[in-house]
Structures are given as structure tokens and as C-alpha cells.
Chain A
Amino acid sequence: MRKKTKNSFNQATAPILFLLPNMIIFSVFIIIPAFQGLRMAAYEWGILSTPHYIGWSNFLEMLKDTVFWKTFANTLIYSLFSVPLLVIVALLFAYFLQDNSMKGVRVYRSLFYIPSLLSMITVGIAWRFLLGDDMGIVNYLIRFMGSQGVHWLTESGTAMLSIILITVWAGAGYFMVIMIAGFQAIPQDLYEAARIDGASPRETFWKITIPMLRGTILVTLVLATISSFKAYELIIVTTGGGPGYATKFIVQQVYQAAFMEDRMGYASMMSIVLMILISVITLFQFAITGKKQDYE
């Protein structure tokens, strides 16, 4: 029988002790509220009133709620277009700005990174001033040049497009920094070997860079997806979810149910669906992107 020593005790307990503070915070602020949300979804409950158990009623109502499914579809469309675009733009920025010895590289990196330092409220207000129908600077310039203004935020299609482009503008710099770290972690030997073997820049990019960046791309995909499903401030400030329901996402609908209609239980039900949706998509991303790397 193996004798338990002081050293082995430390090896077994030290990691647990180090992890404990994080686990406590994670449990108190994430796990317990998530289960509490699950429980609340079975209740009819206004924030200042007594909860009443109603079983599956909120779930059944949600299935028939056309506005919820519209916001569900909008959230998917927004995520489907904004996330790949964010990752591609960040990848391009990082590709051209990865070399520390390039002249002016720090200035360019800073310029692209600055928007991600701004709060989404600030970003939304700034873009609303730019894209407003009547007071917007962009339309002012368009009209000054003799053309008709564009309904950037007041027509369904252009409003969604505007929101996606603003999201990319605001977030690409942040993901660029992660990508640059990924680029710089790729061993230079691989590129030298490829050059000796006569590989073209395109072949090098697709057969060395991209496979070596797979882990970094997965991280950015997961972070961007989760962030896209939680987009709230930017939408509220820029379009308010409109016109109509054109840019209204699940999160806005949850907020409306909870704080405007005073239906915390129904809002919890929608939040649970959102959580499941994010989890499924994240697992799917891990499944397709997180395969064993094949560059060896």
C-alpha cells in the first residue's frame, strides 16, 4: 500500500485549493443562478410579486410566441454573418500586422484596436450620429453630392447590415490581437522548410498558417459567437431593435419580458433557450474546428 506523505498530500490538495476561489465565484455567479433561472422558468413571477408555480406553461407559450421566434431567427442571422466576418477581418488585420519589424506596425495595430476599447453604448451613439436618416453625417455627405440619402437604420435589410458592419468595426481589433499572438507562436522553422521546398505564399498560408492557427481561430469563433448572442447595448442604442422587429434579438426580448412586461418567469424561459443555443453552437464549433491538428 502506498504510504501517504506530506508531499503527496500537497500535490493532491494544492491544485484544489488554488482552484477553489475561482470555483466558488463561478458557482455563486454562474452555476447557481443558472439553476435558479431554470427553476424560475416554471413560475409566473413579477419582480415585486409572489411567484406562482405554472409548470410548463411558459415553455408552451414560448413555442407559440411568433415574436420570440422572430427574435430567435434574427439572432441566428446576425451571428451567422457577423461572427465569420469578424474572424476573417481580424485574421486579415493580423496577417498584415504580425511582423513586429514592419514600419509603423504599432500605430496601425493601435488604430484597429481602439474601437474595441470603447463601450458599445459609445459605439452605438457614434454610429447613430453617422447613419441617422435625417441628422446623420453620412447621409448629409451623400445628399451634398446630389444623391438621395440611404435609409441605413430605418429599413429592415439595411438596418441588419448596418448592425453587422458596426459589430465588425467595433470588435475586429480585439480579435486581431489574439490572432497576432497566434501568428507569432507559429515556429518559423516550418516557413523556412516550406520556402526551401518551393511552396508558394498561398500554399504556405493554407497548409501551414491556417492549420497552425486552428486553436486560435476556435477561441475567436467561440468568443465571437457568445458575444454575438449576447449583443444588447449596441442594438438598443443604434436601432432600438427596429425598424419593427428587424434587429430585435433574443436578449432584447428577454429584457422586455422581464423589466417592461414584468414577466420574470417567461424571461427566464427564454434565457434558458438562449443558454442551450449558445452551448450547442459552441460544442458544434469545438467538434468541427477542434479536431487533432494535422500539420505534423
Chain B
Amino acid sequence: MKRIALLIVILVSVLMPTFSAPTTLTVLWFNDANESEVFQNTMADYVAKNPSVKLDVQVVAFSAYEQKLKLMIAGGNPPDVARVTNNQISALIDALLPLDGKIQGLDEMKKNYLPASLAFALDGKGKLVAFPTEATANGMLVNKTAFKNAGIDVDTISKTWTWADWETLIAKVIAANLKMKYGLAVDFTPHRFSTLMFQQGGHFLNATQTGMDFENPGTIASLRFFKSLHDKGLIPKSVWMGSENPAELFQAGLVACHIGGSWNINTYKQNVKDFEWGAVRMPKGAINSSVPGGKFIATFKGGKNEAEALRLITAFADKEHTSAYVRDTFNLSSRTDTVVNYPSNSKDFAIFLEELKVTPSFTADEWKNVELNKVSTFIREQIVQVLMGNLTPEQAAKAVQEKGSTYFK
């Protein structure tokens, strides 16, 4: 009997590794369009080659994403891997696992990224805390059919137009299209507003990003300009003073132009069938500018499967997987060594990249600032106060300056 028991113990101990459960990596994701599905398709080959790894992809609505992630981290149970935006990197910087010293050849890999994408992914000590997966930029998408109906060749004229030119032209476009009600929709975020602000020569922070500097002539001019566009009826009030979705207004043919992120190319490609649309260069203010941004993949300090998580994100960040991912999600590549063959809309992506090339580098430095991100909701509220006529641009700028300064103690 003892011999049988001993045999069973030996057999169990020998066979245990064979039957051990695979490592399940929890992957937290949010979707702009279909990114979670594309991520899983892109990594299917990796999963096939690594049968000991399984992916548990949890998709969370973007509106609840950061809160969920923070609560998971604060509760000591971070996901193994998560998709994060450039804003979230700054909010979560202390919880992200620095990759330097953990991944072989990382210094060489860093050289392959766009400078703005890399800047967002570095912590205060210059260590990489996430791999850039796609670059984003703010840009202008227009209803080309509406411009054609007004006899305007928007592709040509947009190469050199100013905001003053745009106002003149857009009046003609609205007049020529019965259904069209507005000239421009701007997403209800300070990030998208900052496109206009940077173009008018404004900024949020001082030159060293160590304090607020919102009370500057360019920023005040941009607030005044934004209000004037609302007052003239060129921008729908229902976006910044209500909660209507600017992308839906554009898709319904109610607005001629939309200032939004580059991910809208994917959305419009899928949804807009009634008219011709495309990206054009944004009108020039004091300068030309977009706002860089991006999405990243990261892992966390205290993760339960650190080694496997690092292997997964490194594999996802390689040239082949990045190319496939940005091609299938219709995004800009954050790597400089990729040639992405988009099945369509290549011209639109090229225009967004042109916008990025002329964008001043301080715009990325401002938007990666942790303290600025904390005050961004208050900035949005003060912009609305200006639009409603409750505050002058100067008063709003002063309020933001005072509130923001409390975060830069």
C-alpha cells in the first residue's frame, strides 16, 4: 500500500508541470472604434506561439476607464497590461513599471519612435514607462461635398487659408447647402480647444512647464475667437453647452468641418456614406499647429505576472505588430521605421502627419504635465462660462490661473 501511495506521489509531482494552468494575463482596454478586436487579432500569432499564455481582454468604456484603472491600482490589483492615453500616463506615472533594465535592446527601440510619442512615454527620470502604440493628432475633417456645392475647391484653398478666410468661405458653404446649419464642430475637451489656442499663439504653462501661464494674450485671444464663432452661429451650442456628439453632427451632414482626433478617420470611413469627406490642413491663426497625443501599452509595478506581461507588450510593440495594428485600426504609427499600407484614406493620414510636423514641441510638453491634467476639467468649465457670457475671457483666464497655480505648489 505504501509503495502505491509513493508511486502516486511521484507520478503527480512529475506530471504537475505538464498539467499546470496557463498564465492568464488580464489586459484592460478601451475602444475608440474597434481597437480591442484588432489587438486580439494582431496578437493571435503570439498567443498561438505561447500556449502557456492566455489573454483576458477586459474592455471598459472610456468614460469610466481611468477611474477603474486607478481603483484597481489603489486596491493592489492592477491589470497585467493596459492601454493608456498620454494624459493617463501622466496621471498614473508612479504606478507604471519602468521598462529600462527590464527589456533587452530597449535603447535601440527608443530610437524608432516619433519624438512626441517618446516624450509622452518617459517618466521624470527619462525612463520609458510604456510603449507607444499609435500616434494621434488633432486635425480638421471636412464635408467635401458641401464645399463643392458652394463651388469651393477645399483641397486647394485649405493649403494656405487663414481663420479669416475660413469664416468667409464657410458662410458660403452653409448658404449653398440647405441641410447644413453650422460651419464647425469642436470636441468638448480642453485638448481639442487647445488646437485653436496654440494656433492663436496661446499656451497653458510657462516655458519650463513649472507653473501656470494661462493669462497670456494668445490664450485670451483664442477664448474670444471661440466665443465669437459660437455667437455668430458658426459652432453649434449643443456641443459645449449641451452634450451632443460633434462626430454625430458631422455624420448627419449638419456641420461642414470637425476638429477632432485622427481616430475619427476610422469612424467616418465606417459610417459616412452620404457625402464625400476628407482631412484638410487647418486654417492658420498666428501659427499653424495641431496637438499631438497618443495611445500606449504599459504594465504596472506589483503586477502578478511581470515577466509574461513584459514579453507581451514587447512583442506588441515590435515593428510588424505595430504596423498591422495601426493599419487595421486606421491610426498613425508612432514608429518612424514603419511603412503602413492603409487600404484607403492614405491621403487623410498624410495630412494629419503634416499637421504634426508643423506643431511646436512645447504642446506635447504641456499635455504630458501631470498638474495641467488635474486642472483640465476646470479649464473646460471656464471656457463654457465664457461661451455663456458669464465670464469675460480675461476673467476666465484669471480663474484658471488661480486654480491651476494651487497644483504647482
**A residues in contact (CB < 8 Å) with B:** 47-49, 67, 128, 132-135, 151, 153-156, 237-240, 242-245, 256, 259-262
Answer whether residue B74 sits at the interface, using C-beta atoms and an 8 A cutoff: yes
Is the beta-carbon distance between A259 and B236 smaller than 8 angstroms? no
Answer whether residue B254 sits at the interface, using C-beta atoms and an 8 A cutoff: yes
Is the beta-carbon distance between B254 and A243 smaller than 8 angstroms? no
Looking at the assembled complex, report how far the CB atom of A50 sits from the nearest CB atom of chain B, in whole angstroms: 10
The main secondary structure of chain A at its interface with chain B is loop
Q: B residues within 8 A CB of A259?
A: 66-67, 70
Docked complex: B31-68 residues within 8 A CB-CB of A: 66-67
Is the beta-carbon distance between A134 and B254 smaller than 8 angstroms? yes
The main secondary structure of chain B at its interface with chain A is helix
Q: A residues within 8 A CB of B95?
A: 48
Is the beta-carbon distance between B73 and A239 smaller than 8 angstroms? no
Is the beta-carbon distance between B238 and A134 smaller than 8 angstroms? yes
Answer whether residue B237 sits at the interface, using C-beta atoms and an 8 A cutoff: yes
Partner of A238, one of B70, B188, B243: B243
Is the beta-carbon distance between B243 and A47 smaller than 8 angstroms? no
Partner of A133, one of B70, B242, B375: B242
Partner of A244, one of B181, B236, B385: B385
Looking at the assembled complex, report how far the CB atom of B276 sits from the nearest CB atom of chain A, in whole angstroms: 22
Is the beta-carbon distance between A244 and B384 smaller than 8 angstroms? yes
Looking at the assembled complex, report how far the CB atom of B68 sits from the nearest CB atom of chain A, in whole angstroms: 10
Looking at the assembled complex, report how far the CB atom of B178 sits from the nearest CB atom of chain A, in whole angstroms: 13
Task: Identify the interface centre among A237, A238, A260, A262: most chain B CB within 10 Å of its CB.
Answer: A260
Q: A residues within 8 A CB of B71?
A: 47
Docked complex: B233-251 residues within 8 A CB-CB of A: 236-238, 241-244, 248-249
Is the beta-carbon distance between A244 and B249 smaller than 8 angstroms? no
Q: Number of contacting residues on B, CB 8 A?
A: 33
Is the beta-carbon distance between A262 and B242 smaller than 8 angstroms? no
Answer whether residue B381 sits at the interface, using C-beta atoms and an 8 A cutoff: yes
Is the beta-carbon distance between A132 and B92 smaller than 8 angstroms? no
Is the beta-carbon distance between B374 and A48 smaller than 8 angstroms? no
Chain A residue, CB-CB nearest to B63: A236
Is the beta-carbon distance between B73 and A243 smaller than 8 angstroms? no
Is the beta-carbon distance between A151 and B91 smaller than 8 angstroms? no
Q: B residues within 8 A CB of A261?
A: 374-375, 377-378
Is the beta-carbon distance between A133 and B237 smaller than 8 angstroms? yes
Partner of B237, one of A128, A151, A156, A237: A151
Is the beta-carbon distance between B252 and A135 smaller than 8 angstroms? yes
Is the beta-carbon distance between B238 and A242 smaller than 8 angstroms? no
Is the beta-carbon distance between A133 and B244 smaller than 8 angstroms? yes
Cα–Cα distance between A67 and B381 once the two chains are bound (Å): 10
A48-B74, A133-B236 in contact; A260/B374 too (CB < 8 A)?
A: yes
Chain B residue, CB-CB nearest to A255: B67
Chain A residue, CB-CB nearest to B236: A134
Answer whether residue B94 sits at the interface, using C-beta atoms and an 8 A cutoff: yes
Is the beta-carbon distance between B70 and A135 smaller than 8 angstroms? no
Partner of A48, one of B94, B244, B381: B94
Cα–Cα distance between A47 and B70 once the two chains are bound (Å): 7
A153-B242, A238-B243 in contact; A134/B249 too (CB < 8 A)?
A: yes
Is the beta-carbon distance between A244 and B242 smaller than 8 angstroms? no
Contact mask B365-385 → A, CB, 8 Å, 1/0?
Answer: 000000000111110010011
Chain B residue, CB-CB nearest to A131: B242
Answer whether residue B351 sits at the interface, using C-beta atoms and an 8 A cutoff: no
Answer whether residue B388 sits at the interface, using C-beta atoms and an 8 A cutoff: yes
Cα–Cα distance between A244 and B381 once the two chains are bound (Å): 6
Q: B residues within 8 A CB of A153?
A: 238, 242-243
A134-B181, A245-B381 in contact; A128/B243 too (CB < 8 A)?
A: yes
Cα–Cα distance between A153 and B71 once the two chains are bound (Å): 32
Q: B residues within 8 A CB of A151?
A: 237, 242
Answer whether residue B390 sits at the interface, using C-beta atoms and an 8 A cutoff: yes
Cα–Cα distance between A244 and B237 once the two chains are bound (Å): 12
Q: B residues within 8 A CB of A67?
A: 381
Is the beta-carbon distance between B243 and A135 smaller than 8 angstroms? no
Chain B residue, CB-CB nearest to A133: B238
Is the beta-carbon distance between B249 and A135 smaller than 8 angstroms? yes
Q: B residues within 8 A CB of A243?
A: 237, 241-242, 384, 388
Partner of B238, one of A132, A238, A245, A262: A132
Chain B residue, CB-CB nearest to A49: B94
Is the beta-carbon distance between B94 and A154 smaller than 8 angstroms? no
Partner of B384, one of A49, A242, A256: A242
Task: Identify the interface centre among B92, B181, B244, B377: most chain A CB within 10 Å of its CB.
Answer: B244
The contact sample of 28 A-B pairs, CB cut-off 8 A, is A47-B74, A48-B92, A48-B94, A49-B94, A67-B381, A128-B243, A128-B244, A133-B237, A133-B242, A134-B181, A134-B238, A134-B249, A134-B254, A135-B238, A135-B252, A151-B237, A154-B237, A156-B388, A240-B243, A242-B384, A243-B388, A244-B384, A244-B390, A245-B381, A259-B67, A259-B70, A260-B374, A260-B376
Is the beta-carbon distance between A262 and B374 smaller than 8 angstroms? yes
Looking at the assembled complex, report how far the CB atom of A53 sits from the nearest CB atom of chain B, in whole angstroms: 16
- Which 3 pairs from chain A and chain B are nearest by CB? A133-B238, A243-B241, A154-B242
Q: B residues within 8 A CB of A260?
A: 374, 376-377
Q: A residues within 8 A CB of B381?
A: 67, 244-245
